[in-house]
Chains A and B, each alone.
Chain A
Amino acid sequence: MSLAKPDAVDISNKQKVALAIGIIGLFILTLALFNTNFPNKGVFLTCALGLISVGTIIYSRDAYLTKLEGIKNDGVWFKSISSRGVWGWVVGVILTAFYIVLYFYPKYLGLGVDGVVNTGLISLFDPLSQLLSGRQASQWFVYGTLYTIAILAFGYKFILKYRHNRYQQIRTISVMFFQLGFAFLIPEFMYVMNNDLPYYDLKSMWPLNYYIFDEWSVNGFLSNGNIGLALILFGLITIFVISPILTYKFGKRWYCSWVCGCGGLAETAGDSFRQLSSKKMSAWKLERWLIHTVLVFSVVMTTAMVYTYLGYDSNDFWLTRGVFIALVIGFLTLVFAGVLFFKGKELGKDVKYGAIGFFVVIALLVIMHLTGTTKHVFYIKAGALRSIYGIYIGSIFSGVIGTGFYPILGNRSWCRFGCPMAAILGFQQRLFSKFRITTNGGQCISCGNCSNSCEMGIDVRHYAQKGENIVRSSCVGCGICAAVCPRGVLKLENDSMKGRINPTEVLLGNDVDLMDLVNQK
């Protein structure tokens, strides 16, 4: 497949050495996977992770620091790995297989359950886990470690690649920081301090951490006194206060490409695959259906989850099932009415779809309330329902398809098609946010660099060549479109809501009378 392509993109000798170093690191992990019992696990683990990092670092330095600062996209569509060539498929299959094993068959990674000691790959990570939290490693610890290493090493690569672009650098340092601190280290330390507390990644919020409102989780928090209560409250405040404010001021990028772990991996390790996302209109249509369906699903599921363990009797606790359902429906109605009132005109035809979505949710909630029992909702066992949702969010999409398919569908397919959080933030970004990508008058030459490198599959050029700002709910504000534009046409900005959406037919630079005639009608 790659034979027909120009071979002028050979890598240098130094890069070959770097690759070899990284592969030795991976090889150690592979040996462990196949149950090689290393004598001094701490040393071998350090070697493996060290070699992988060092390999990546040397490779990136040679790739970028030997050249002048600037856009470094030469050959991305020639290289097999980044153009759905043989290597792309190989990596895709390996990653997907890894995810399937990780989620569904962790015993093949060597997980020891019920007090049995770990073997294989997981046991290799025991020393690190012991060091951090004094317990033996789990498959999630292994995954978390590899995930963090990937974000750090490839984040370094990304920073070098964009060393002329401070927005890219700061943003990358931010995701590296949040991954290492909030997703990886702090939860481990929290466990040390209080080992009854459920896992809590402070930066992760509903609907991503769907499990936080599950019975065991809430009970876990509540039985931990003030810390637990504070964490639950913090969770609620992030959803209802902090997130809306930040999204209003900065767009959803504050989360998606500055904080989020999935986003962090996509932007760093996934950077080489961003051009693979489909920019077709049909893909956009699919995206809108999928993501909103997911949103409906997660609202209903979360409500159902809380619902199943609430009581009927207000003497036990003021929040009964009836009150809860009423609250949820009331809140949703408020949001829906608000949007209709303030933005109904702007949305035009889409109001119809919004209304359908709204009534579907309400109907589902009512049906649930009328038919639900302590054990069953929608006639399905409550527990089963929860695990369906968990599997969906946690594994099938964000892991298997989201990351496993990086080399095939691009690095943000989860963020684009499946993430309920992205749907909520996007909804707000589209309607109530100061964020937009400003188009610079008439300067666009329709070259397509922006669309090509948009990981969310937004056809940025479609707007830019009309002189129109880009206001799209899916834009995660990565800023790469603006970086690669050879004519300085795009700028990510937070500015006033007025004039944010500015469709034009005749662009700036032409006859002013003609512009008035055509654009003002």
Chain B
Amino acid sequence: MEHIVIIGNGISGVTLARHIRKLSDKKITIVSGEADYFFSRTALMYIYMGHMKFEHTQPYENWFWKKNRIELRKAFVKQIDTNSKTLLLADGGNLSYDKLVIATGSKPNKFGWPGQDLEGVMGMYHKQDLENLEIYAPNNKACKRAVIVGGGLIGIELAEMLNSRNVPVTFLVRESSFWNGVLPEGESQIINRHIKNHHIDLRLSTNLKEIVSDENGKVKSIIIEETGEEIPCDVVGLTAGVSPNIDFIKSSTIETGRGVKVNRYLETNIPDVYAIGDCAEQHEAIGNRRPIEAVWYTGRMMGETLAQTICGNRIQYKPGHWFNSAKFLDIEYQTYGWVFSEKSKQDYEQHFHWKHHDDTKCITVAYNKDTNDFLGINTFGIRMRHEIFDKWLTEKRDIDYVMNHLVEANFDPEFYSHYEAEILSTFNNQLQTI
């Protein structure tokens, strides 16, 4: 029986294993060093906030794996020998495979800041980071202030986490406005204000210079690049993005760049070795996507796809229309299709922006100003239907159609106020003035 070994029990590895099991009888082993069972990384924050316990973040009950004959092995892989098709494990054991899938995810970026390895300095990616945070910031007595470096999706989650335990937070963001490399200006500014309304000390256009140690090798303060200001703190969260967790692969014959290089079939340069999820890097970006897509959905889709290939139906990874979602403190965000920020958009991309007067809801619709084609939508504080936008993107609807049918896409709970009429009239007014 063919033995499929998967390194990493995150969403990509587990989705793959589940689908291989549905399609075949192959022997499946998942090796992972972080946790005994698959848990949802995206839910780590809710454990610290007390919404859930760790076991609630595990999407499958513990009996699931045995029942589906998916073997789990808790170990770190130290080395891959592609000649003899064996893995060398950190616990001294080894494991041979017929087909190997690398699904090792990411690790937090560290940009060589002085003091980045001090005690009390941590990323927020692995379960161990959370345990660390529990040690250094159990409450606002042990942690008088925390500084978060890097204004992305994980940074704001960390800020929300600490806020839930009343730990004062200073949030250093390199950009002039929160996440404005991705979000259009109007949206980014709503989030700036929302962060401040939560009493988080948001510092825009601010870089970290160094992290200062106390006499015990624990963080004492940080110093800001621009002003030289020293901010005393007990915890520093490094959330300036993630990069593929592939250091142990560099010594093997498998080709790596920033991530493990794969073709459209998710195959590496070595036969029978594949890579999926956060750690996979496409030779060439697919459409507007980035070569490395560190999002949940990509890991899942790659898992769904690769299962076919491994079970004999070799198919390309061909993701559909882009979608994503996040939550900024209390404001939910969804996106369908492509809406680029002012920094990165093309000339033809035009935006229509509507904001509710309560400053917690807005939408931005992107369209091609030459052809009027609808390109994508960002929504804040209003839920929208994935299915409808996916359909409209496939049908290549124009902006007028989308604006006039927006109500069909609404996904807010029953009895919520509707804003489509207001949005449409704003849209029509703006058009007239152009």
Contact = CB atoms under 8 A, between A and B. Distances in A.
A8 B139 contact: yes
- Which of B50, B53, B334, B394 has the most chain A CB atoms closer than 10 A to its own CB? B50
B46 A449 contact: yes
Interface stretch (A112-120, A373-381, A507-515): A507-515
B140 interface: yes
A441 B386 contact: yes
Given A6-B139, A441-B387, A448-B43, A482 B413 contact: yes
A6 to B, nearest CB: 5
B318 interface: yes
Contacts of A7: 138-139
Interface in B306-361: 308, 315-321, 323, 325-327, 329-330, 332, 334
Contacts of A440: 383, 385-387, 411
Contacts of A452: 51-52, 56
Interface stretch (A19-27, A88-96, A164-172, A182-190): A164-172
- Which of B43, B385, B386 has the most chain A CB atoms closer than 10 A to its own CB? B386
Interface in A458-476: 461-462, 465
Given A6-B165, A514-B305, A488 B50 contact: no
A513 B308 CA distance: 12
Given A6-B139, A448-B59, A510 B43 contact: no
- Which of A70, A73, A451, A488 has the most chain B CB atoms closer than 10 A to its own CB? A488
A33 to B, nearest CB: 35
A510 B327 contact: no
A172 to B, nearest CB: 12
B49 A510 contact: no
Task: State which size class the interface on A falls in.
Answer: 35 or more
**Secondary structure type dominating chain A contacts:** loop
Nearest to B358: A69
B214 interface: no
Nearest to B384: A488
Contacts of A513: 315, 318
Contacts of B297: 442, 509
A166 B413 contact: yes
B206 interface: no
A446 B59 contact: yes
A448 B386 CA distance: 20
B210 interface: no
B415 A505 contact: no
Contacts of B258: none
Contacts of A505: 19, 22, 304
A76 interface: yes
Nearest to B318: A511
A513 B415 CA distance: 37
B430 interface: no
Interface residues of B, number: 63
A167 B415 contact: yes
A79 B386 CA distance: 37
B205 to A, nearest CB: 25
Contacts of B134: 6
Contacts of A484: 51
Contacts of A508: 320, 386-387, 390
B323 A441 contact: yes
Contacts, number: 180
A337 interface: no
A483 B413 contact: yes
Interface in A471-521: 479, 482-484, 486-488, 491-493, 505-514, 517-518
B334 A73 contact: no
A144 interface: no
B42 interface: yes
Given A68-B197, A509-B301, A443 B52 contact: no
Contacts of A68: 197-198, 329-330
A384 B167 CA distance: 62
Contacts of B197: 68
A10 to B, nearest CB: 9
A443 B334 contact: yes
Given A8-B138, A488-B384, A491-B412, 18 more contacts: A8-B167, A75-B50, A79-B50, A167-B413, A440-B386, A443-B386, A447-B43, A449-B52, A486-B332, A488-B334, A505-B22, A507-B300, A508-B386, A511-B315, A511-B317, A511-B318, A511-B320, A514-B318
Interface of A: 6-9, 68-71, 73-79, 164-167, 170, 275, 280-281, 438, 440-443, 445-449, 451-452, 461-462, 465, 479, 482-484, 486-488, 491-493, 505-514, 517-518
30 contacts: A6-B134, A6-B139, A6-B165, A9-B50, A71-B51, A71-B330, A76-B50, A76-B51, A79-B50, A167-B413, A167-B415, A170-B415, A280-B61, A445-B42, A446-B42, A446-B296, A447-B42, A447-B57, A448-B58, A449-B46, A452-B56, A486-B332, A488-B325, A488-B334, A507-B301, A507-B304, A510-B304, A510-B319, A511-B305, A511-B320
Interface of B: 11, 19, 22, 40, 42-43, 46, 49-53, 56-59, 61, 134, 138-140, 164-167, 197-198, 296-297, 300-301, 304-305, 308, 315-321, 323, 325-327, 329-330, 332, 334, 383-387, 390, 394, 411-417
